[in-house]
């Protein structure tokens, strides 16, 4: 616990510390040395009798006072002067004018008091103390001046070192004389060996790039008028060798008592490397590295400028073309990524050489390019240019002595005051491009609002489908449903099996057939989880029928395999797992694959088909006759059934050609040891024709309606 005395001593200690901190040891040393020198000088004068003679002359001839002995009073004098000097040394620093005044006042005061005391009969020395005090004042003034000069010199060296370290060129603009002091480093920045000197402002301003001069002068004027706290401006300065360097100029105005600027003091630094780095980053952010064209972000900036322009100029118009190379992935995969990149560069160069300079060409991404037609009259200008672009790029590209031919799908979006975001324009141009691809590629389409509506509807449907697939995976949805179409033996009319057909019971749009959502499922990759759900559900349902009805043991369930499933590694193992899970025998399952699926990778899938057949699973080629078939490979496939496409069967009664095609396919399958199922049987006449040519099985609405009342229950 602290006592009162402890607090008292702490306060004294703090006062002494503060007093010491206010004192500058170096300056006290100068004062001590000066007082010591003056004291020695005065003592020397006293020792040689000079002071005694001066005192005698002063007292006898000027003051009419009795002569005193200086030696007798010297100790008293030195004691008094020492105390005065010591007190002055401990005083805080004050301006030199006040300090000299203090010494002068002491000198005069001593002279006056010593004379008055001497007249009272107490003779005191006059000249010696006054000489001591006066010389002390002069000596301290000299030492303080020397100390200030040394400090100034050190600051100048320090300032020069800092300026050299940071590569800054200093300048000091005297506004009264309109002359500027430029440091040597300032001249060195522009490649000159000139030393520091004063020059007119034109030495600086005449070297500023014309595009930057007006901005720099405006910044200087604004600062002089007090609109900014400091001057800071970037500008380009001409080098002695003729090129321009980027500089960053900073400065601050020195104002008088009335607030009027009299000087501007500042510096400039070379920021050329920084600007180059900025430009490199800008190009990385807004330019495509491969082609050197603006990328999507850079293209959006150009679009924003055009959008802003038409907002104020309603008569102005522009158009955006979205170019997509058809089947570029095939070129890239077959010829290699290097050839693909070179082809993109060649396309960019050909388009850039063809388009006017005012039009902006950009690589939006991948094999897609964008064109901004900045000034057009109407839609015909855009469509005519689209046709010309297709003609220009239809000419062959020669790469490594190969001739590569391209076609383009182009979407066109016209400007409107309703557009405020560049992304909306790009979105609509992209929508039109996809419409062109949907209509057969190698064509262009102009965006219409109905396209956007259809895209929104498609997106909503896709979101709903994703939701359904996610719910089906956790068995908490019944929107996806399986219908089972019977496959009938034509001779006996008995059911030999069923084909599982998926339907989507949409809560708002009702029952949706496969063509409404299968293509969307393939585009999004959702076809794979949906197909596994179909296969598992169909196998489970067939097993339930077998357990409930003894006469269904030999029935088969037909399930379509998707192309994405067919490309999966380990497909036989997945099928085996589902059979084990549902406890269904492989002989009760028949997988349907299309011609195109097996013919695209005919040589590589033969072994996989044999693995599936070893599980006891049967295989059928669906839609036979609609694709490209190779009979040499067909004989190698372990296929059980060929299904004749409905496009031939449904037209049997309308022309002889279709009947002959069906007859030929049936004969081919018979000779290969395969059975045949005719799809799309809709009338009794068609069924009779098929039976006449001894076709084994039939499938279609004719049989579905006939056996409606005999359909098995769905568990």
Helix ranges (H only) for 210-271 are 210-224
Both tokens of 171, joined, read 């300048």
627 DSSP assignment: S
Mean pLDDT over the full length of the chain: 82
CA distances from 650 to 30, 514, 703 (A): 120, 19, 14
Task: Locate 554 and state its tokens.
Answer: 């030999």
> Secondary structure of 277-295 in the HEC alphabet?
HHHHHHHHHHECCCCCCEC
Strand boundaries in 195-260, DSSP class E? 197-199, 231-238, 244-255
Lowest-confidence region among 94-103, 204-213, 475-484, 694-703? 94-103
Looking only at the bridges linking them, the beta strands covering 675-678 and 641-644 are parallel
Q: For residues 59 and 127, give the distance between their C-alpha atoms in angstroms, rounded to a whole number.
A: 10
The answer to whether the beta carbons of residues 426 and 300 sit under 8 Å apart is yes
Q: CA–CA separation, 625 vs 681, rounded Å?
A: 16
**Quick one: which H or E segment has residue 676?**
strand 675-678
Show the domains of the chain with their CATH numbers. Answer: 4-157 (no CATH), 168-276 (3.30.450.20), 287-447 (3.30.70.270), 472-710 (3.20.20.450)
Q: Is the CB of residue 569 less than 8 Å from the CB of residue 604?
A: no
User: Is 75's pLDDT higher than 50?
Assistant: no
Could you report how far apart the first and last alpha carbons of the chain are, in Å?
91
pLDDT score of 154: 62
- CA 46 to chain CA centroid, Å, is 87
pLDDT of residue 50: 73
What does the alpha-carbon distance between residue 99 and residue 247 come to, in Å, rounded to a whole number?
Answer: 47
Burial class, 302, CB count within 10 angstroms (exposed 0-12 / middle 13-18 / buried 19+): buried
Query: Hey, CA dihedral for 173, 179, 184, 188, is it positive or negative?
Result: positive
Specify the pLDDT at position 383: 93
Q: Is the pLDDT of residue 372 over 90?
A: yes
* CB 63, CB 114: distance < 8 Å: no
Query: Is the distance from CB of 690 to CB of 700 less than 8 angstroms?
Result: no
Distances (CA, A) of 466 to 60, 423, 519, 523, 537: 124, 25, 14, 12, 19
Please report the DSSP string for 419-478 in residue order.
---HHHHHHHHHHHHHHHHHTTSSSEEE--HHHHHHHHHHHHHHHHHHHHHHHHHTT---
DSSP assignment of 539-578 equals HHHHHHHHHH-GGGTT-EEEEEPPHHHHTSTTHHHHHHHH
- The yes-or-no verdict on residue 160 having pLDDT over 80 is no
Percent of the chain beyond pLDDT 70?
A: 80
- Inform me whether the pLDDT recorded for 78 exceeds 70: no
Exposure of 573 in the CB half-sphere (CA atoms within 13 A): 3
CA-angle at 543, arms to 542 and 546, nearest 5°? 90
- Residue 594 bridge partners (DSSP): 622
d(CA 145, CA 135) in angstroms, rounded, equals 15
Mean pLDDT for the stretch of residues 257-280: 88
Length of the chain measured in residues: 715
Q: For residues 482 and 505, is the Cβ–Cβ distance under 8 A? A: no
The tokens of 150 are what?
Answer: 């040394």
Give the Cα separation of 478 and 472 in Å (integer). Answer: 7
Neighbouring residues of 626: CB distance < 8 A, sequence distance ≥ 6: 595, 645, 647
How does pLDDT run across 538-586, given as a tens digit for each residue?
999 999 999 988 888 889 999 999 888 887 888 999 999 999 999 999 9
Query: 2: pLDDT confidence band, cut at 50, 70 and 90?
Result: very low
Note the pLDDT tens digit of each residue in 39-49.
Answer: 777 777 766 66
Q: Which residue has the tokens 């003051």?
A: 63
- CB within 8 Å of 503: residues ≥ 6 apart: 480, 481, 482, 483, 511, 512, 513, 514
Q: Among 584, 593, 594, 534, which Cα is nearest to 555's? A: 584
CB neighbours (10 Å) of residue 677?
29
Residues 660-671: tens digit of each pLDDT: 888 888 888 888
Q: What pLDDT, on a 0 to 100 scale, did the predictor assign at position 448?
A: 87
Give the separation between CA 430 and CA 360, rounded to whole angstroms: 17
Give 464-497 pLDDT, tens digit per residue: 888 888 887 666 668 888 999 999 999 988 999 9
- Residue 521 tokens read as 């499922």
Cβ–Cβ < 8 Å for 508, 532:
no
Q: How far apart are CA 690 and CA 687, in angstroms?
A: 5
């Amino acid at each position: 616990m602290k006592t009162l005395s402890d607090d008292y001593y702490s306060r004294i200690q703090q006062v002494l510390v503060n007093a010491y901190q206010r004192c500058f040891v170096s300056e006290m040393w100068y004062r001590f040395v000066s007082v010591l020198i003056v004291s020695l000088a005065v003592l020397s004068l006293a020792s040689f009798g000079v002071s005694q003679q001066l005192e005698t002359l002063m007292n006898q001839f000027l003051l009419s006072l009795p002569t005193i002995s200086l030696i007798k009073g010297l100790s008293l004098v030195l004691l008094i002067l020492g105390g005065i000097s010591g007190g002055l040394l401990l005083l805080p620093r004050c301006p030199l004018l006040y300090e000299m005044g203090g010494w002068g006042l002491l000198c005069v005061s001593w002279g006056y008091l010593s004379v008055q005391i001497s007249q009272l009969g107490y003779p005191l020395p006059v000249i010696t103390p006054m000489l001591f005090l006066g010389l002390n004042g002069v000596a301290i003034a000299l030492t303080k001046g020397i100390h200030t000069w040394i400090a100034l010199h050190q600051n100048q060296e320090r300032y020069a070192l800092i300026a050299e370290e940071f590569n800054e060129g200093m300048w000091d603009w005297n506004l009264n004389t309109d002359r500027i002091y430029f440091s040597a480093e300032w001249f060195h920045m522009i490649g000159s060996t000139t030393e520091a000197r004063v020059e007119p402002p034109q030495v600086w301003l005449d070297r500023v790039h014309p595009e930057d001069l007006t901005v720099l002068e405006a910044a200087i004027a604004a600062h002089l008028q007090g609109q900014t706290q400091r001057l800071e401006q970037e500008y380009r300065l001409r080098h002695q060798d003729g090129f321009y360097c980027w500089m960053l100029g900073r400065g601050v105005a020195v104002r008088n008592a009335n607030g009027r600027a009299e000087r501007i003091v500042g510096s400039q630094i070379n920021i050329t490397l920084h600007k180059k780095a900025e430009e490199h980053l800008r190009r990385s952010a807004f330019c495509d590295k491969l082609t050197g064209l603006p990328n999507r972000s850079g293209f959006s900036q150009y679009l924003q400028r055009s959008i802003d322009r038409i907002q104020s100029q309603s008569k102005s118009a522009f158009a955006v073309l979205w170019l997509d190379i058809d089947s570029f992935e095939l070129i890239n995969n077959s010829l290699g990524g290097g050839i693909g990149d070179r082809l993109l560069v060649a396309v960019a160069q050909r388009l850039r050489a063809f388009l006017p300079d005012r039009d902006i060409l950009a690589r939006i991404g991948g094999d897609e390019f964008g064109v901004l037609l900045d000034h057009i009259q109407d839609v015909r200008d855009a469509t005519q240019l689209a046709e010309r672009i297709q003609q220009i790029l239809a000419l062959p590209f020669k790469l490594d002595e190969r001739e590569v031919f391209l076609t383009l799908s182009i979407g066109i979006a016209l400007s409107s005051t309703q557009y405020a975001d560049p992304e909306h324009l790009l979105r609509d141009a992209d929508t039109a491009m996809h419409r062109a691809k949907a209509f057969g590629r190698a064509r262009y389409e102009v965006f219409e609002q109905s396209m956007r509506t259809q895209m929104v509807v498609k997106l909503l449907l896709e979101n709903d489908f994703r939701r359904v697939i996610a719910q089906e995976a956790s068995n908490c949805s019944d929107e996806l449903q399986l219908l089972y179409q019977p496959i009938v033996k034509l001779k006996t009319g008995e059911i030999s099996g069923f084909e599982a057909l998926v339907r989507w019971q949409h809560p708002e749009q009702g029952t949706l057939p496969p063509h409404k959502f299968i293509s969307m499922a393939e585009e999004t990759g959702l076809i794979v989880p949906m197909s596994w759900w179909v296969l598992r559900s169909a196998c489970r349902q067939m097993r339930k029928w077998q357990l409930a009805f003894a006469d269904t043991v030999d029935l088969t369930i037909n399930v379509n395999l998707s192309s994405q499933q067919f490309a999966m590694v380990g497909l036989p193992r997945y099928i085996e797992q589902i059979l084990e899970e549902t406890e269904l025998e492989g002989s009760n399952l028949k997988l349907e694959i299309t011609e195109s699926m097996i013919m695209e990778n005919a040589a590589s899938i033969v072994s996989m088909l044999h693995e599936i057949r070893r599980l006891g699973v049967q295989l059928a080629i669906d839609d036979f006759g609609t694709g490209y078939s190779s009979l040499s490979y067909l004989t190698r496939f372990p296929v059980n059934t060929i299904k004749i496409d409905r496009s031939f069967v449904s037209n049997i009664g309308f022309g002889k050609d279709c009947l002959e095609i069906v007859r030929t396919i049936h004969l081919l399958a018979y000779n290969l040891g395969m059975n045949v199922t005719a799809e799309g049987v809709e009338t009794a006449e068609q069924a009779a024709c098929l039976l006449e040519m001894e076709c084994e099985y039939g499938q279609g609405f004719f049989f579905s309606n006939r056996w409606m009342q005999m359909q098995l229950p769905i568990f």
